Structure 1
Amino acid sequence: MPFKRLSAVTLAAFFALYVIWGSTYFAIRVGVEEWPPFMMAGVRFLMAGTVLFLYLKLRSTPNPSMREVLGGAILGVLMPGVGNGLVTLAEKDVSSGVAALVVATVPLFTTLFARLFGQPARWTEWGGIVLGLVGMALLNLGANLKASPSGALILVLASAGWALGSAWSKHLTQPKGLMSSAVMMLSGGLALLLASLARGETLAAWPSWHGWAALLYLVVFGSIIAYTAYLHLLKTVSAAAATSYAYVNPVIAVLLGVMLLGEHVGVHELGAMAVIVAGVLLIGWKR
């Protein structure tokens, strides 16, 4: 449906994903300077999931069934766990803006996975994905990813995990309403803390207020608000449209990285960003 016919809630959800999630790359980059990556991501989602679950129980929301918990847990491992967890790990070596640009591969993977589940893609969506791939090719010519090929691989794996969860979400039985977000974040947080334990992560020192501020921003805005908005979009628009944030987030992330973190953005990165932003215009055509 055209944007002018979308509900106010759906439009607000698009705004939350485009702007808030764009700023989370900056917050992650600040946070991993003082937190071990999987530990920070695990604490983030465990805190957000606990707050949301307690809020729902105070409103007398019924507990989900075991089948719903299983579906939510699968998505939690794929999306907060693999998706956000690997992005957090990669930002130890890759700039926040470039990380957001690599995650632009999400719509490509989502469309491919959606086809496996029987959902066709429109020609405009394919066209937007092609532009995204061209942007990725330009990005790999820049100095940022050449300096960290392992970081680039980790980000691609993160994108694939997130996209699989996005496409699968329409075919899995999940808890209803906000309980779905709570179960996903709790399961993803637990999976990340187990990964942190397996990697032997420890705090070198107690985080400063910068580290705690970054974590709290990710809990409230990046998790509770934005995740709820994303799940709303997955249920109301196509998977490709819901993941179109991946083309807009880089603009926000690059601007914040340059202005607040002093990150360098070269000609290849700027060219890649221009092509990727053009992709979102095409992927959302007549949406």
Structure 2
Amino acid sequence: MSGHGLLYPLIALMMLLWSANFIIAKVAVREIPPLLLSALRVALAGLFILPIYRWSRRNGQTWAKGDLRLLVALGVFGVALNQVFFVAGISRTSVAHSALLIGITPLMVLLIAAATGQERLSARKILGMLIALAGVAILNISPAPAGAGGATLAGDLLTLLATLTFALFTVLGKEVTERCGTIAVNTVAYTGGALALSPVVVWNAGSFAFAEVSWSAWASLLYMALFPSVVCYLIYFHALSRIPASRVAAFSYLQPLIATLMGVVLLGERISIPLAAGGSVIFAGVYLTERG
């Protein structure tokens, strides 16, 4: 099979693994508190990616002090807080809402890049952002009451914060990524994130009943640490090296759809009118922005 012939099945696998992460997180958070789950995920992901960094690192690579300080800060805000907001959010909202809101990451990236002078906003891009924002508002026309197990406004706001922190990580880490490489940047960032969240693990060591956590919850934690954080990331950057970024980005439109269908089939979530309408409007806004 040719390189490109293998590439597209790999991209499809990446989309499936990323989409399944929303379901897996729902399973894990039933038994492991969101903050502890986030800390364990970041720590394990750092352990998984470290040997990959050692294998792939550039000969004689050195780090400037400014780069290390920036990356540790990005690890705290772009990795640690990102995971805390994501897990806390999905514990309070539906898979469909979480996937759709994570799907507006490109808009957040564009907005921050424009604010820092890295991008220019056209009228079409601004219109696309406003349309997507309207879609987010439509999603919350009739949120579920807190504790009802469905989508809540609090959960959606936490998920939006996860989107914002990842967008900040993407934009502010762009220059150092170009200098040092993506694997090196993510290794340092995950290490910084793990250190920032380590007190959470220590705090829970004597009070949380780790022995009572089921094998399915532990397996879910391992999945979250390995596949979305490491395997999908490696496929993503391999794809970027082979085909245009716009073509890779086009596949991202499938993630909310796949995750929503998984939520319906595996978790019994329902597709409401606000969800269908809001999701469609968000898709339209993101599409218009990326084509602007």
With the length of structure 2 as denominator, give the TM-score of the two structures: 0.78
Match of residue 172 from structure 2 = 168
Q: Are the aligned partners of 1:241 and 1:283 in contact in 2 as well (CA < 8 Å)?
A: no
Match of residue 116 from structure 2 = 117
- Is 2:139 aligned against 1:139? yes
- Is 2:79 aligned against 1:99? no
In the alignment, the residues of structure 2 paired with residue 110 and residue 56 of structure 1 have an alpha-carbon distance, to the nearest angstrom, of 26
Which secondary structure does the structure 2 equivalent of 1:143 belong to? coil
With the length of structure 1 as denominator, give the TM-score of the two structures: 0.79
In the alignment, the residues of structure 1 paired with residue 128 and residue 7 of structure 2 have an alpha-carbon distance, to the nearest angstrom, of 22
Alpha-carbon displacement from aligned partner over 1:68-126 (angstroms, at most 9, x marks no partner) = 33232222222221222211012222122222223344333322211122121344433
Which secondary structure does the structure 2 equivalent of 1:33 belong to? coil
Q: Are the aligned partners of 1:42 and 1:190 in contact in 2 as well (CA < 8 Å)?
A: no
RMSD: 3.6
Percent identical pairs in the alignment equals 25
- For residues 179-218 of structure 1, what are the structure 2 equivalents within 5 Å? 179-195=184-200, 202-206=207-211, 207-218=213-224
Match of residue 49 from structure 1 = 46
Match of residue 220 from structure 1 = 226
Cα displacement (A) at 1:50: 1.8
Larger mean Cα displacement after TM superposition, 77-86 or 258-267: 77-86
Which secondary structure does the structure 1 equivalent of 2:220 belong to? helix
In the alignment, the residues of structure 2 paired with residue 16 and residue 169 of structure 1 have an alpha-carbon distance, to the nearest angstrom, of 27
Cα displacement (A) at 1:150: 2.5
Cα displacement (A) at 1:192: 2.9
Match of residue 3 from structure 1 = none
Cα displacement (A) at 1:257: 0.9
In the alignment, the residues of structure 1 paired with residue 6 and residue 285 of structure 2 have an alpha-carbon distance, to the nearest angstrom, of 24
In the alignment, the residues of structure 2 paired with residue 29 and residue 199 of structure 1 have an alpha-carbon distance, to the nearest angstrom, of 20
Alpha-carbon displacement from aligned partner over 1:241-277 (angstroms, at most 9, x marks no partner) = 9888775432122111111011223111111112222
In the alignment, the residues of structure 2 paired with residue 188 and residue 16 of structure 1 have an alpha-carbon distance, to the nearest angstrom, of 27
In the alignment, the residues of structure 2 paired with residue 138 and residue 168 of structure 1 have an alpha-carbon distance, to the nearest angstrom, of 31
For the structure 1 residues 39 and 51, does the alpha-carbon distance in structure 2 shift closer, same or farther, using more than 3 Å as the test? same
Larger mean Cα displacement after TM superposition, 145-154 or 261-270: 145-154
Q: Which is higher, the Rg of structure 1 or of structure 2?
A: 2
In the alignment, the residues of structure 1 paired with residue 56 and residue 110 of structure 2 have an alpha-carbon distance, to the nearest angstrom, of 37
Q: How many residues align?
A: 279
Unaligned runs of 5+ in 1: 1-6
Partner residue of 1:155 out of 156, 159, 170: 159
